[in-house]
Chains A and B, each alone.
Chain A
Amino acid sequence: MSAIGLNHYLMLAALLFVCGLLTILTKRNAIGILMGVELILNAANVNLVAFNRFSHGVSASGGVLLSGQIFAIFVIVLAAAEAAVALAIFLNFYNNFSTIDVERAQNLKG
């Protein structure tokens, strides 16, 4: 049993990403797709934090650098904002079509 290293995290992130991707591809429910998007974003977050942990995160003055973590926090904030906007769109969509099946959203089809 070796110690948990960077590769484990990367594997976890890849797994999460694939889960999210599959969710997006398979789901017809808009909220499901939004969840898939969240999974993908979190996979990216895991990567960011992991890379920050396992790189030589020390500045020239000897302080610890936390840029990966901060980046992840930004992503979470943005994801929250995005979710708010997306949910608002879905609500409107539901009001108009009485469903949130994305297959139905093809009025703008060329």
Chain B
Amino acid sequence: MRHRRIARALKKKQMPRTDYLLIIATVLPLASFVLLVFAGKRMGKPFAGYVATGAIGLSLVFSVLALIGWVQGGEYKPAGRTAAISYGMGRTPINLPMHWVPSNYTADAQTKFLNVGVYVDSLTIVMFAMITLVAFLVHFFSLAYMADDKRFPRFFTYLGLFCFSMLGLVLGGTILQLFIFWELVGLCSYLLIGFWYEKKTATNAAIKAFVTNRVGDFGFLIGLGILFYHFGNVSLPDIWSALDISKMSGRGIELANGVWFGPTLLTVMGVGLFFGAVGKSAQFPLHVWLPDAMEGPTPVSALIHAATMVAAGVYLVGRIFPILTPDARLFIAIIGLTTLTMAALIAVAQSDIKKVLAFSTLSQLGYMILAMGVGSWIGGLFHLITHAFFKALLFLGSGSVIHAAHHEQEMHQYGGLWRKIPVTAITFAIAVLAIAGTPGLSAYYSKDMILAHAGGYAGLGAEHSKWYLLFFWVPSGIALVTAFYMMRCWMLTFWGKPRNQHLYDHARETPVLYGPLIVLSIFSIIGGYVGVRTMIEYAMGEGSKIVLDVRGVKEDSPEAKKYDLYATAWPGEPGGSHLPTEARAAVAEGENEPNLTHSQMEFKHYEHIVHTVVVWAFAVGIALGFVIYFKGYAVANALMKIAPLRWIHTWLYRRMYFDELYAAVFVAITMGLARLSALFDRVVVDGLVNFAAHFVKKTSDLAGLNDKYIVDGAVNGLASATQSLGSAVRAPQSGRIRMYVTVLLAAVVIGIAAMIVVVISK
């Protein structure tokens, strides 16, 4: 009764403008950061944690209000427009660009400025809700997890900065803003990986993460540079409207000022921008930093290196999706495929619980990137959200285990822990089932969709080359591996007999630790059907609407068809509301069977296979994991006796020797170059500097001589002359009165005598 009244009140009450709510939600963690930077130490434990948790909690409230406001819809009037624009789910997104810096060249005659601004569509709203929810739970979890840490306030300070940066990244309306916040989250990641900087491994991991990300960001900068140089505008809707790939012809895309943007250049730009995502989302070949990043505190791994920051790469690709050429998409799909395969295989052989989860994250990110590559825009972003929930749950669960095991992370030391920490065990099991793709749990829907779309892509491509079939069968096979290694992880941790009795006896869990786990496990279950997918599907249509708005084209005019941004993406569901334009038009005209294009027929065909494949992959993987690890390591050790299996295991355990390879190639080259530069420094630069110093010294010696003999001589000569004159003059001043009188008398006598002489001579 009461909640119905609240619901009615909410329906009646018009929410404040969504963009304002989101800006407040973004700024709150920044306020907490600023406060804690200056006063964090004085607040101390646990008050500093309460401040940060409170701030992100308020952010969560504002995000939820924004979600409600978005579903309700509303109106806003941007500056310089006469008519108000109605925003909301399925309507026009909020786009508020502000002129920042004048730019000399833009292909678009309307704007001569580099813009910054806010862009809000359904995807932004979903991302906000997800980020603030996970961040709040991680903050809450950290209150207990970090309670013994001596730098407790600093931890929450960094978390505040991270939340601000991450929310700013999602809110940003231009690629430039995306880049700025991109670097900020990278910085936070660096600070938090190296949080326990007394450990050499932690600082090394932090530096590795930072440097590896630099490589990716270099590509991002190149892409951004190409975009800015040739197009001169970085606002998302402007880019979409001008460079939408469905308008591409053989010569490329013609810009508003008549310049052609060539297809090769577009591909290079797309791949360049994607390289940013390769760095941040830890895709092959820049994946090496993410497993090492597990040196950071576990809540950080959950928030930054599983749920939010690493997914930012997928978000970026999602935002530039309409301008990616087919070649660029193929490249993206290949990278995603490589990553998801490689990471899943490595995860099978890892013994550190967090390393398993790290490689599992890599693999799942690979799925998302693959999804983007094969045109499954909805699938990729849908999986991003569901993955955020169950992966954050897995990491926080591992945090709870590690906390219970006194910071022991090797699964060799675990076993049978479910009796001691049952809530963690159950929630962890839910996450394992979710990631494995159990029907009914969240990842089943998202992974299913990705595989269906990949199937469609593979089916279309198979007409050119049979290799395209890999895009469907490899991820399907890896779905099985995923189920297996996650089950292995759970079995080794919670099942069987304790392998370390001491550790087992002291294990315990607390409500502050498992509270967030329960919330996350609920979201891991229902994440597939609480409207996340619907929201993301709406975001597709909204993107096209903002482009129509930017172009000034009426929605129902025939020209509007040209501006369907996601015409090259796979639809959400065949026959659903998000078919490509022609099919939608056919439905509208009352045809019973929509004119499905060839690609949709492919998709329909693969959808049937996919459901079977996903269910079987899940069942076989889980069963294998359960059987092999039922008695701890017994079966696994027996299998290891077979030499080829042992070799493969070692190869996988050492992470396919990527670290060694990079150390031998890139690090060695860099070190060699560094030594060479050091030599140059010592011989040439130091030589020049020393010569200059010598020269200056000699010159000053000369100047010193001049000073000593000529300038000083003149001054001293004047002084001694004055002194001798003085002593000559002082002789008469004897102080003897009689002498004065005598002189006086003599002078008078001489004077009188002179007068007499003068008078006489006259």
The residues of A with any CB-CB pair to B shorter than 8 Å are 21, 24-26, 28, 33, 102-103, 105-110
Contacts and interface: CB of A to CB of B under 8 A. Distances in A.
A110 B729 contact: yes
B738 A110 contact: no
Interface string B701-744: 00000000000000000000000000001110111111001100
B276 to A, nearest CB: 90
Of the candidates A26, A28, A106, A110, the one having the most CB atoms from chain B within 10 angstroms of its own CB is: A110
B745 interface: yes
Contacts of A107: 735
B738 A109 contact: no
Contacts of B729: 110
Contact of A109 (B734, B741, B742): B734
A24 B734 contact: no
Given A21-B745, A25-B742, A109 B735 contact: yes
B736 A106 contact: yes
A103 B736 contact: yes
Contact of B733 (A33, A105, A110): A110
B745 A102 contact: no
Given A24-B737, A102-B737, A110-B729, 6 more contacts: A24-B738, A24-B741, A25-B745, A102-B738, A106-B735, A108-B735
Interface string B19-34: 0000000000000000
Contacts of A102: 736-738
A33 B736 CA distance: 13
Contacts of B730: 109-110
Interface of B: 729-731, 733-738, 741-742, 745
Contacts of B742: 25
Contacts of B741: 21, 24-25
A3 B675 CA distance: 130
Contacts of A110: 729-731, 733
A105 B733 CA distance: 12
Contacts of A28: 738
A24 B741 CA distance: 8
Contacts of A21: 741, 745
Nearest to B730: A110
Contacts of B735: 105-109
A106 B734 contact: yes
Nearest to A107: B735
Contacts of B737: 24, 33, 102, 105
B746 to A, nearest CB: 11
Nearest to A106: B735
* Closest 8 A/B residue pairs (Cβ): A106-B735, A110-B730, A110-B733, A109-B735, A102-B737, A24-B741, A25-B738, A25-B741
A96 to B, nearest CB: 15
13 contacts: A21-B741, A25-B738, A25-B745, A26-B738, A28-B738, A102-B736, A102-B737, A105-B735, A106-B734, A108-B735, A109-B733, A110-B729, A110-B733
Of the candidates B729, B731, B737, B745, the one having the most CB atoms from chain A within 10 angstroms of its own CB is: B737
Contacts of B745: 21, 25
A86 to B, nearest CB: 12
A49 to B, nearest CB: 23
A24 B743 CA distance: 13
Contacts of A108: 735
Contacts of B734: 106, 109
Contacts of A26: 738
A25 B741 CA distance: 7
A26 to B, nearest CB: 8
Contacts of A105: 735, 737
A94 B737 CA distance: 17
A30 B734 CA distance: 17
Nearest to A33: B737
Nearest to A104: B735
A66 to B, nearest CB: 30
Contacts of A103: 736
B731 to A, nearest CB: 8
B729 to A, nearest CB: 7
A46 B741 CA distance: 23
A105 B739 CA distance: 13
A33 to B, nearest CB: 7
A102 B745 CA distance: 19
A17 to B, nearest CB: 11
A33 B740 CA distance: 13
Contacts of A25: 738, 741-742, 745
Nearest to B737: A102
Contacts of B736: 102-103, 106
A108 B734 CA distance: 9
Nearest to A26: B738
A106 B732 CA distance: 12
A68 B730 CA distance: 42
A103 B745 CA distance: 19
B724 to A, nearest CB: 14
Contacts of A24: 737-738, 741
Contacts of B738: 24-26, 28, 102
A25 to B, nearest CB: 6
A25 B749 CA distance: 15
Nearest to A27: B738
Nearest to A105: B735
A106 B736 CA distance: 7
Nearest to A103: B736
Nearest to B742: A25
A103 B734 CA distance: 10
B58 to A, nearest CB: 89
Nearest to B738: A25
Nearest to A28: B738
A14 to B, nearest CB: 13
A92 to B, nearest CB: 17
B728 to A, nearest CB: 11
A107 B734 CA distance: 10
A28 B736 CA distance: 10
A25 B743 CA distance: 11
A52 B738 CA distance: 33
